[in-house]
A and B are shown apart, each in its own frame.
Chain A
Amino acid sequence: MSAVIAEHGHDDHHDDHAHGPEKGWLRWIITTNHKDIGTLYLLFALAMFFVGGAMAMIIRAELFEPGMQFVNPQFFNSMTTMHALVMVFGAVMPAFVGLANWMIPMMIGAPDMALPRMNNMSFWMLVAGVLLLASTLFMEGGAPAGGWTLYPPLVLQTGKALPFAIFSVHLLGISSIMGAINIIATILNMRAPAMTLMKMPLFVWTWLITGFLLIAIMPVFAGAVTMLLTDKFFHTSFFDAAGGGDPVLYQHIFWFFGHPEVYVMILPTFGVASTIIPVFARKPLFGYSSMVYATASIAFLSFIVWAHHMFTVGLPISGELYFMYATMLIAIPTGVKVFNWTATMWKGAMTFETPMLFSIAFVVLFTLGGFTGLMMSVAPVDFQYHDTYFIVAHFHYTLVPASVFILMAAGYYWLPKWTGHMYNEKIGQLHFWLSAISVNVLFFPQHFLGLAGMPRRIPDYAIQFADWNMVSSIGGFIFGVSQLLFLWIVIDTIKGGTGEKVTDEVWEDAHKHGLEWTLPSPPPYHTFTTPPTVIPCDHD
């Protein structure tokens, strides 16, 4: 340790080369720098967003009209399964880990992440996991086609791909756990002395809580899929009634993982929204401490509501009622968050740059997804909604115009900081409006389809569902193509953007809202080599 410090002192007098990045492509393989790894995560997530999106385009093309046109039903099922797995484990989760890598050290006044080598390992294990998963597409019998939930006995009918898919889940799980440990260790150990817990930006808070969720749930999922593996290859009967097991047991285990898992994707979303909205409202975040407590309550509740995904599976009446009441409770802390964001905007001096536009759209459209969530928390009514397009509409509202929109917002918000260049605001706003309109054309009609009786995960449908499916597909195609604008903006901004040199704080008075805006744009390779003493804190 002392040697490192001595070397550090030495460098200060001469040159910085020992502390700069490795030259050439090897930099991106062996890097232990939080910014490099953050960039890798974000670019990988963006690539997977397009891969998963391409699968969604295949799904929407097949559903454009009644009849089977492009793919066979088995491949269709593989597409719905892989679309979900790639988007959840390849795009949304890694994107938030990428943001955490980039932003948490900068937000808490640290030089880097606490465990930089593990950081590198968790990224490359993610790549290995996703590539292994993608390779199942080319295996005999096709990729897994039993839905992303991998329910037995159906998933056990998968061809050669099954053990590979299970092993890829293991790798993704290990990667997530390592990422979570690193984030927790960084937040708890690396804060600048003046950065007390209740001064931390909400993004840091939500990631701290998300980190604990991940550590708690990923081993559970790994256990569940390992039981699938032994049921298939080692003659156990965890999920086979013929040997004394129970297929519904898998669903309980899966959703004990699965419900917190969906909050893994939404809690950091809340954090970013709480970071962006105050800056563009030019007002402190309303109800900081209630935001923290609401996040913690939502995380706690996420562990005790899992069977609301299973209302029709044949639960005893006491179970139905308990899970209904517990689920309804989630509306309270979630409501508090929405009210707080609204109150943050209230009497502000708002401007509407692209990050703010995406954030406002997030608040509105996430709330729509929350409403349908409230509707389906009511168990008897869920006996109608369950496994229909109403559900598909619900969770896509909470994922696409919520998590994905906020990831876009985060991209626009921090790209100038990361690159030192300003993105093209006109194209950004065009991207926003195209996305915001088409995402509703895409998903809103799916509510009608579900209520009218269209089940999810079907490759073909009755004639009365034709019109809204066509509308939804058109929305889907527009949404898909619009995202190419974002790709263009990312590349353009990295290459120089508008050519306008951005200031340290980029956004007006942003330095009042977060430490990252006190750093140069782009920030130095090692963030804070000495802890900052003045902590911007707008809530006390």
Chain B
Amino acid sequence: MKKTKQLFVGATLTAFGLQTAQADYALNLMQGVTKVSNDIYDLHMLILWICVFIGIAVFGTMFYSIYHHRKSKGHKAANFHENTTVEIIWTIIPTLILIGMAIPATKAMIELDDVQESEMSIKVTGKQWYWDYEYLDSGVHFESHLDAASEKAHRVDSIDPHTVPHYLLNVDNPLVVPVGKKIRFVFTAADVIHSWWVPDLGWKKDANPGFINEAWTQVDKPGVYRGQCTELCGRDHGFMPIVVIAMEQPDYDKWVQTTLAKQNEKPDLSDQSREQLMANGAAVYLKNCVSCHQIDGNGAAGAFPALRGSAKVTAGIDPLIGFLQAGTSRMPSFAKLKDNELAAVITYIRNAPELGNKVGDEIQPKAITPVYDDDDK
């Protein structure tokens, strides 16, 4: 019932060309929270109204004609087929309107493009299928994946997406920025082209593998702003959202400190119970493996091999560790995983009932041998 009512309200508002303020029922572009996004919004509204005005004039004329100049009303056809004056007029007027549009558009474009005098820089790397953020000044560096609740909900039929908060628009590690500072972003990608878009910031920018793009923002209002990848980047293109949290400078400073501290923490390599290993392994799997190998371990025929019943998974542990750390031409290296994460995920893929494997062993973090050593670890 509520839905029907909402639909009715939406349709009515559309009919009158009004905007609705309902957050979950947007009809129009959002104004956003930066000066640029507001300028872009104003430009959007200006052109929209120009179009509405021209539309009323042209369609008005046409429908007047359709109503009055019909044979059934006995209207006799005129025979004119040229009029140089009106033809010149309707060439010149649109030209003038276009010039009128081009001036503010040029200003906005130049403003959007000007990354100079930024106060901090964040490097954004698009990867299949998550974002990697590196704060070039403070050294904060983390990955931002779709949150576990959404990840499960879109993969498991029995979970209703409506029950998931911010379904598909929530991440495990949001990008945190201070308000009131000009932030320069540099974009690149590791595999295919991605595009980073947060509508509230007013723009998107492509992340091209092997190249660097720049953009900037200055958020004036603290808050949580959500967006998504907007360049088709493969299977899970729809599942790599962006969350930006803008906070006051002191809060931001505190966040940097705690994040850095956590980042530099040595992983806990003490022995874990089997249940712990399996639970941690499931979380690591959901974040890192599920996109290709799928939640049931069946992979995708012709693209991604199945883990279910795979000899590579269920045979010796050491080759498996080496395989995960080195990667292959088709699978990226997972040397970024810490020993406790590797131990957990290996235990998990060898024993998870949902993947159909049951070797019956476990591996502890200390037993992970550095087959392929990564400097970052």
Q: Which A residues lie at the B interface, using CB under 8 A?
A: 66-69, 72-74, 77, 139-142, 145-147, 151, 153-154, 157, 159-160, 240-242, 246-248, 281-288, 290, 312-314, 317, 320-321, 324-325, 328-329, 331-332, 335-336, 338-339, 342-343, 345-352, 360, 363-364, 367-368, 371, 374-375, 378-381, 383-384, 386-388, 444, 448, 451-453, 455-464, 467-468, 471, 538-539
Contacts and interface: CB of A to CB of B under 8 A. Distances in A.
B69 A346 contact: yes
Contacts of A314: 187, 205-206, 208, 211, 213-214
Most A CB contacts (10 A, CB to CB) among B105, B111, B302 go to B105
A458 B195 CA distance: 13
Nearest to B48: A375
B356 interface: no
Given A313-B208, A383-B202, A146 B232 contact: yes
Given A247-B209, A314-B213, A455-B229, A384 B44 contact: yes
Interface stretch (B161-169, B251-259, B270-278, B318-326): B161-169
A385 to B, nearest CB: 8
Contacts of B211: 241, 246-248, 314
A122 B331 CA distance: 43
B180 interface: no
Give 9 nearest A-B pairs by CB, closest first: A241-B210, A458-B238, A141-B302, A452-B26, A140-B302, A383-B203, A284-B81, A314-B213, A371-B51
A320 B113 contact: yes
Contact of B209 (A241, A287, A313): A241
Contact of A367 (B55, B86, B155): B55
Contacts of A285: 81
B192 interface: yes
A342 B61 CA distance: 8
B27 A452 contact: yes
Contact of B301 (A140, A242, A335, A378): A140
B368 interface: no
B228 A458 contact: yes
A154 B161 contact: no
B6 A467 contact: yes
Contact of A339 (B78, B90, B205): B90
B193 A151 contact: yes
A142 B234 CA distance: 13
Q: Which of A141, A151, A448 gathers most chain B CB within 10 Å?
A: A448
A350 B210 contact: no
26 contacts: A69-B157, A77-B234, A154-B193, A159-B303, A240-B210, A241-B211, A242-B210, A246-B210, A286-B82, A312-B204, A336-B91, A338-B58, A339-B90, A346-B78, A347-B65, A349-B70, A349-B75, A349-B77, A375-B47, A375-B51, A380-B36, A380-B43, A381-B108, A383-B40, A387-B197, A462-B168
Contacts of A283: 77-81
Contact of B44 (A72, A332, A375, A471): A375
A281 B302 contact: no
A170 B229 CA distance: 32
Nearest to B10: A467
Nearest to B51: A371
Given A66-B162, A375-B48, A455-B229, A312 B195 contact: yes
A279 B36 CA distance: 50
Given A151-B193, A283-B77, 6 more contacts: A66-B167, A69-B157, A74-B300, A335-B94, A347-B75, A375-B51
A380 B154 contact: no
Contacts of B210: 240-242, 246-247
A447 B55 CA distance: 17
A451 B112 CA distance: 19
A343 B157 CA distance: 56
B65 A67 contact: no
A451 B26 contact: yes
B372 interface: no
Given A312-B204, A331-B94, A324 B105 contact: yes
A350 B66 contact: yes
B226 to A, nearest CB: 8
Contacts of A459: 238
Nearest to A459: B238
Given A73-B235, A317-B109, A387 B195 contact: yes
